């Protein structure tokens, strides 16, 4: 229809703009650029020029999607604010390219938002990507800079974590100045240009200033150097003259764009959520609504509380492709009294069709205590299967999703030294310390301990780190904290069902 309108009235801009909007909504940015370029030749209007510039930016932005998607995952995980005080905070960041200092600042200040900008700093036709943070675009501060090696985005300074003691400025002549601060006196000023390969920074100047406390006195002797190692000493006057040659230049300005969570096309999302909702209703009719029930505890001396019915409905992006899979957890009476009765499965929306990508699996279970668990590494979210940790054995499988089905990425057997049992990763025997360290990194903060203690609490909204207790130790009464966990799981399930219903 639009192409026909363009052929009939080639100089009218409306059809070009509306067709470009459709291509953009479908993620076909290259097609949007082509149709707008065609329109620009026929119509010199400002709207087409502006829309073309925006479409070209989306094409360029698409090349950096592997970086931007990691920051979107950070946003979806509420900037990992609930782990801010943990010593290993960095290990929870959902991507190796996320700037640590930015994550800390965003976790501390709820009003901060992530921004990005595209700028061809070295004028080679390929724009660099800058990542910023601030309360607004006007106040955004740059934290990292990326370029392309072929089609792969790479950090220009992979060994730096900008934002605290090390920062950088970009100048209009393509110079990038990196300033490292060791103390109130000690500073290093390194100036770079991007090399001809487009992604390697070449050092063109290095200056440093250090305080020498070797002499007796209350104040240090300040020394200036024409290198970062403190070997080529120069005068203060020479130092300032060289430094001013770079810092007197005009700083580059950036058009910061607010990074927003990526959305699928409206129709696909609506159809997907409708199918997910109908599936939830089918399972709810079969197993009943999620609820808390009481059962007899040890030797009928007391009652314990357990979850029953459709206890878990979670929307989780397992493989970082910005498409949510559906995790369903439910209870059915075990056949012949075998097993805990708790199970889960995962469904996905593939090419307009609902597909069961992980068939029915038993929930984790130790002597009547059952639980459902996920964890994450980078952009991947794992289902933790057969997670056992008691006096004689310890193991876990970490299942990941490849877009078609789930498979075991890590199969870990935890060493039991007192029984002479070695540890292994994917069938290969490894040093005990390596296995335990690797296992703990994946499973913390809530893996079951050797004494059977499962009183651990962790659930987040997007399922990247999830622990849902389903039933507790029948040797002791259910605690107040465990009841709170049950209620939180049921509230999340109810909320997600309502989300699917209203989309």
Q: What is the pLDDT along the chain (503 residues), one digit of tens a residue?
A: 667 777 778 888 888 888 888 887 677 778 888 888 888 888 777 788 877 877 777 777 788 988 998 999 899 888 999 888 888 888 888 888 999 999 999 999 988 999 999 999 999 888 999 999 999 988 999 999 999 998 889 999 999 999 999 999 999 999 999 999 988 899 999 999 999 999 999 999 999 999 887 776 678 889 999 987 878 999 999 999 999 998 899 999 998 988 876 544 444 577 888 899 999 999 999 999 999 988 876 666 677 888 899 999 998 888 877 788 999 999 988 755 566 788 999 999 887 789 999 999 988 877 667 788 888 777 788 888 876 555 455 688 899 998 889 999 988 887 766 666 778 888 888 887 787 777 777 764 433 333 333 333 344 444 456 667 777 666 677 778 788 888 888 888 888 888 888 66
H-run or E-run covering 170: strand 166-170
Which among 179, 168, 188 is positioned nearest to 239, based on CA atoms?
188
Tell me whether residue 279 is exposed, middle or buried, using C-beta atoms within 10 angstroms of its C-beta: 0 to 12, 13 to 18, 19 or more. middle
pTM to 2 decimal places: 0.53
Which among 351, 319, 314 is positioned nearest to 496, based on CA atoms?
314
- The pLDDT of residue 286: 95
Q: How far is Cα 258 from Cα 170, in angstroms, rounded to an integer?
A: 20
Domain ranges for the chain, please list them. 2-62, 78-258, 266-502
Reading across the β-sheet that carries 201-212, which strands appear in turn? 166-170, 176-181, 187-194, 201-212, 221-225, 233-234
- SS3 category, 324: coil
H-run or E-run covering 397: strand 394-401
142-176 in b/e form (b: 16+ CB < 10 A) is bbbbbbbeeeebebbbeebbbbeebbbbbbeeebb
First and final CA of the chain: distance in angstroms? 29
| H helix and E strand count, the chain | 10, 26
């Amino acid at each position: 229809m639009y192409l026909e309108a363009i052929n009939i009235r080639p100089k009218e801009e409306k059809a070009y703009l509306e067709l470009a909007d459709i291509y953009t909504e479908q993620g076909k940015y290259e097609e949007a650029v082509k149709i707008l370029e065609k329109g620009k030749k026929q119509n010199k209007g400002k709207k087409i020029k502006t829309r073309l510039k925006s479409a070209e930016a989306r094409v360029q932005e698409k090349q950096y999607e592997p970086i931007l998607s990691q920051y979107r995952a950070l946003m979806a995980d509420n900037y990992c604010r609930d782990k801010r005080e943990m010593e290993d905070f960095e290990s929870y960041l959902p991507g190796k390219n996320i700037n640590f200092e930015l994550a800390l600042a965003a976790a501390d200040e709820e009003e901060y938002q992530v921004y990005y900008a595209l700028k061809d700093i070295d004028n080679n036709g390929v724009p660099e990507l800058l990542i910023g943070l601030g309360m607004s675009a006007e106040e955004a501060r740059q934290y990292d800079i990326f370029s392309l090696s072929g089609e792969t985005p790479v950090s220009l300074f992979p060994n730096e974590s900008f934002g605290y003691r090390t920062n950088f400025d970009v100048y209009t002549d393509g110079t990038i100045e990196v300033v490292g601060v060791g103390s109130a006196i000690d500073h290093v000023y390194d100036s770079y240009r991007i090399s001809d390969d487009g992604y390697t920074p070449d050092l063109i100047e290095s200056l440093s200033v250090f305080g020498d406390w070797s002499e007796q006195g209350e104040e240090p002797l300040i020394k200036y150097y024409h290198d970062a190692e403190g070997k080529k000493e120069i005068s203060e006057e020479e130092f300032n003259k060289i430094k001013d040659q770079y810092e007197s230049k005009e700083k580059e300005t950036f058009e910061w764009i607010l990074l927003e969570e990526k959305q699928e096309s409206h129709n696909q999302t609506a159809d997907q959520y409708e199918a997910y909702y109908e599936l939830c209703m089918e399972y709810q009719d079969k197993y009943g609504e999620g609820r808390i029930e009481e059962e007899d505890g040890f030797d009928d001396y007391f009652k314990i509380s357990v979850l029953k019915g459709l206890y878990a409905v979670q929307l989780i992006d397992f493989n970082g492709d910005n498409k949510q899979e559906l995790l369903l957890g439910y209870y059915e009476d075990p056949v012949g009294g075998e097993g805990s009765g708790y199970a889960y499965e995962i469904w996905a929306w593939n090419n307009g069709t609902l597909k069961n990508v992980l068939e029915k699996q038993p929930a984790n279970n130790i002597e009547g205590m059952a639980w459902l668990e996920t964890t994450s590494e980078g952009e991947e979210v794992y289902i933790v299967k057969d997670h056992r940790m008691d006096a004689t054995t310890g193991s876990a499988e970490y299942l990941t999703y490849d877009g078609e089905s789930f498979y075991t990425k890590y199969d870990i057997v935890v060493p039991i030294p007192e029984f002479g049992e070695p540890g292994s990763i994917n069938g290969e025997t490894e040093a005990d310390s390596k296995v335990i360290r690797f296992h703990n990194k994946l499973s913390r903060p809530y893996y079951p301990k050797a004494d059977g203690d499962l009183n651990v609490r962790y659930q987040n909204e997007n399922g990247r780190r999830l622990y849902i207790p389903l039933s507790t130790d029948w040797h002791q009464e259910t605690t107040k904290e465990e009841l709170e966990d049950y209620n939180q799981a049921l509230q999340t399930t109810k909320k997600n069902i309502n989300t699917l219903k209203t989309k």
